[in-house]
């Protein structure tokens, strides 16, 4: 059978993949999805707090990005552009998910029925973090995740969210303060 289209030999750049997609090579989009799935998925999971909703938001965002690929002005920055779509999509889910927010567990140990004390402690910490994150106002959570987990610069965050840089800095600061407060409360329970 014919070779996979060179993708396995040398990692094609986002710009190259976008170029191929625009000529009708839908398989190249599969490569982009695989490339960004986990990274964007992490943001969605933390932002929305519900894995199912997060995966749905992620899926939706990928589909939307494909359908509006003509509007991606700079294919070399496809990742950032895709982030913008996801950030917006997570905002609409957030309201729904908030009404039935439940905690999920990242830890593989938990899935195996952790009984070791260290594992239990790690579970409790993971839960505490999730709970604290969930208590943040959505715009604080969004800013905190984009800055500290996704490592974006404030200028980039401003482009994605539409908020000004100083407003974003304030949100991140508030988020930090509130997380400390919530986690202290959790420790003293």
Given the rule CB under 8 A, which residues bind another protein? 1-2, 4-5, 7-8, 21-31, 33-34, 37-38, 41-42, 45-46, 51-52, 55, 58-59, 62-63, 66-67, 70, 106, 111, 125-126, 129, 132-133, 145, 148-149, 176, 179-180, 183-184
User: By C-beta, is 33 or 163 nearer to another protein?
Assistant: 33
- SS3 label, residue 189: coil
Output helix, strand, coil percentages for the chain, rounded to the nearest 5.
Answer: 75, 0, 25
Q: Which 8-state DSSP code applies to residue 73? A: S
| Among the listed residues 70, 43, 75, 68, the one whose alpha carbon sits nearest the alpha carbon of residue 58 | 43
Q: How many CB atoms lie under 10 A from the CB of residue 82?
A: 22
Query: In angstroms, what is the minimal distance from the CB of 73 to another protein?
Result: 16
Is the Cβ–Cβ distance between 53 and 96 less than 8 Å? yes
Query: In angstroms, what is the minimal distance from the CB of 46 to another protein?
Result: 6
Query: In angstroms, what is the minimal distance from the CB of 41 to another protein?
Result: 3
* Residue 139, CA atoms < 13 Å, CB-side half-sphere: 12
Query: In angstroms, what is the minimal distance from the CB of 167 to another protein?
Result: 20
User: By C-beta, is 11 or 164 nearer to another protein?
Assistant: 11
Q: How many CB atoms lie under 10 A from the CB of residue 47?
A: 26
User: By C-beta, is 132 or 160 nearer to another protein?
Assistant: 132
Query: In angstroms, what is the minimal distance from the CB of 39 to another protein?
Result: 9
User: By C-beta, is 40 or 160 nearer to another protein?
Assistant: 40
User: By C-beta, is 41 or 164 nearer to another protein?
Assistant: 41
| Among the listed residues 136, 129, 48, 35, the one whose alpha carbon sits nearest the alpha carbon of residue 87 | 48
Rounded Cα gap, residues 100 and 103, in angstroms? 10
């Amino acid at each position: 059978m014919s070779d996979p289209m060179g993708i396995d030999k040398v990692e094609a750049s986002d710009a190259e993949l976008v170029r191929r997609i625009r000529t009708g090579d839908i398989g190249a989009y599969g490569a982009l999805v695989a490339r960004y799935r986990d990274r964007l998925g992490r943001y969605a999971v933390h932002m929305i707090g519900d894995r199912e909703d997060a995966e749905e938001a992620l899926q939706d965002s990928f589909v939307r990005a494909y359908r509006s690929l003509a509007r991606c002005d700079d294919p070399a920055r496809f990742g950032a552009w895709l982030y913008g779509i996801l950030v917006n999509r997570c905002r609409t889910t957030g309201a729904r998910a908030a009404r039935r927010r439940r905690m999920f567990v990242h830890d593989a140990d938990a899935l195996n029925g952790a009984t070791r004390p260290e594992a239990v402690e790690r579970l409790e910490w993971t839960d505490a973090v999730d709970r604290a994150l969930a208590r943040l106002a959505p715009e604080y959570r969004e800013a905190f995740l984009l800055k500290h987990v996704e490592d974006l610069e404030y200028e980039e965050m401003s482009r994605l969210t539409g908020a000004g840089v100083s407003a974003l800095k304030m949100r991140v600061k508030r988020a930090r303060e509130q997380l400390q407060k919530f986690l202290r409360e959790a420790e003293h329970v």
